[in-house]
């Protein structure tokens, strides 16, 4: 085991709500964490995973056995802070070898109070999640009684029925420019008096927990971008006169996000829309379709997706625990455009009446392959 300098690894215990117990060791000192436990199959990209708001309220098990070897870089943040409650790995490397690294993974986690544990049998935990589904879990260095930890795990709220998007969204509108948020460089925008400049095609982003790389990709494609709080209503969005609206990724169950569903429904036909991940699910709900919780979801950067129109297969980055029900979606007049080749779940749709582009996966990647990056250009064409 390769460990960081001056690190005192603390014995820890992981308890799942089904009664399963797993020993491990904390490389971030004493602490406790709780939430829904899920697994990610990516071989790289742990920093992007840790800063993805879609992981809010969860603990992430990395199936790749070696984590931490390239450290953490200031350039690879997908939000302003760490989002999951903990990261659980088989082997942790505390000596990063990367000229871009600004710190080790432990040095990144500990100041934010996020637990990192290693020497965990991640294969066994992943197999348990695959068999029983994503479960509530408790992780602790402070409590050694497994029975107590199991009871604490069982007392946690279920992710089903929770509206987590409000906490993940921005509180104030802001611009995205020159590859970074303009939030820190200027006062929050007053959207009652602000207008797009009209130099470039414009996109308003309804923020449910947006990843920074979505914003980077929009700017790279040629859009002027403004990010709006989840509570922004249809009239306020239309008053900005944007050329398009992007519905972002975000955490949790889509069905409780009722306010946003009503906003999207009110905008159908008025403005071209691009839904990504949670935004895709909310768009389907606005059309009248249904969603459901998956057994253990899709989380990783190696999910094969078939474009049924072209026969092209793309390897995609994904992070979601809910999906759109196929039969209910077909009844809305939507055309299913993409399916997952592992389990045949819905991965994308268009509509015969509305200018809509919607995908369940992450075309911006970060981490992951860029096979689907062309969808941002397709959105640009849809606006034209």
In angstroms, the Cα distances linking 48 to 45, 278, 301, 347 are 5, 18, 12, 22
Establish whether 277 is a catalytic residue: yes
Radius of gyration for the chain, computed over Cα atoms and rounded to the nearest angstrom: 21
Any catalytic annotation for residue 364?
yes
C-alpha torsion angle, residues 307, 311, 315, 316 (rounded to 10): 0
Where is 26: in which H helix or E strand?
strand 21-26
In the DSSP assignment, the letter for residue 251 is: S
Query: Residues 6 or more apart from 204 whose CB is under 8 A from it?
Result: 226, 227, 228, 237, 240, 242, 244, 245, 246
Rounded-to-integer distance, Cα 122 and Cα 145, Å:
21
User: Which one of the listed residues 212, 298, 338, 362 is annotated catalytic?
Assistant: 362
Whether the CB-CB separation of 71 and 36 falls below 8 Å is answered with: no
The answer to whether 325 and 292 are in contact (CB under 8 A) is: yes
Tokens encoding 127: 């197999």
From the candidates 34, 277, 338, 351, which is the catalytic residue?
A: 277
Catalogue the active-site residues.
277, 362, 364
């Amino acid at each position: 085991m390769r460990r960081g300098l001056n690190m005192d690894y603390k014995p820890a215990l992981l308890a799942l709500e089904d009664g399963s117990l797993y020993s491990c060791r904390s490389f971030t000192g004493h602490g406790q964490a709780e939430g829904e436990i899920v697994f990610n199959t990516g071989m790289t990209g742990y920093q992007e995973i840790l800063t993805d708001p879609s992981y809010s309220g969860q603990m992430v098990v990395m199936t790749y056995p070696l984590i931490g070897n390239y450290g953490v870089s200031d350039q690879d943040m997908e939000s302003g802070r760490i989002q999951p409650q903990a990261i659980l790995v088989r082997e942790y490397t505390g000596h990063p070898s990367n000229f871009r690294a600004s710190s080790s993974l432990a040095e990144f986690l500990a100041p934010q109070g996020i637990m990192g544990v290693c020497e965990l049998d991640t294969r066994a935990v992943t197999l348990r999640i695959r068999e029983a589904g994503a479960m509530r879990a408790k992780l602790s260095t402070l409590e050694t009684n497994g029975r107590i930890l199991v009871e604490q795990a069982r007392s946690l709220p279920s992710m089903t029925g929770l509206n987590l998007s409000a906490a993940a969204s921005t509180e104030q509108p802001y611009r995205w420019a020159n590859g970074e948020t303009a939030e820190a460089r200027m006062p929050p925008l007053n959207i009652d008096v602000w207008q797009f400049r009209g130099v470039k095609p414009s996109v308003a982003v309804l923020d449910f927990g947006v990843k920074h790389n979505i914003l980077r990709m929009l700017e790279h494609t040629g859009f002027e971008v403004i990010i709006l709080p989840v509570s922004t209503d249809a009239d306020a969005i239309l008053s900005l006169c944007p050329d398009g609206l992007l519905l972002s990724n975000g955490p949790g169950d889509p069905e409780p996000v009722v306010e946003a569903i009503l906003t999207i429904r009110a905008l159908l036909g008025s403005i071209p829309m691009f839904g990504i991940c949670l935004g895709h699910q909310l768009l389907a709900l606005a059309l009248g379709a249904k969603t459901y919780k998956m057994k253990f979801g899709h989380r990783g950067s190696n999910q094969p997706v078939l474009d049924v129109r072209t026969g092209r297969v793309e390897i995609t980055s994904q992070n979601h625990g809910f999906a759109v029900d196929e039969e209910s979606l077909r009844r809305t007049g939507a055309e299913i455009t993409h399916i997952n080749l592992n389990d045949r779940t819905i991965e994308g749709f268009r509509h015969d009446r509305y200018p809509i582009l919607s995908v369940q996966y992450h075309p911006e990647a970060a981490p992951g392959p860029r096979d689907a990056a062309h969808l941002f250009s397709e959105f640009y064409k849809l606006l034209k």
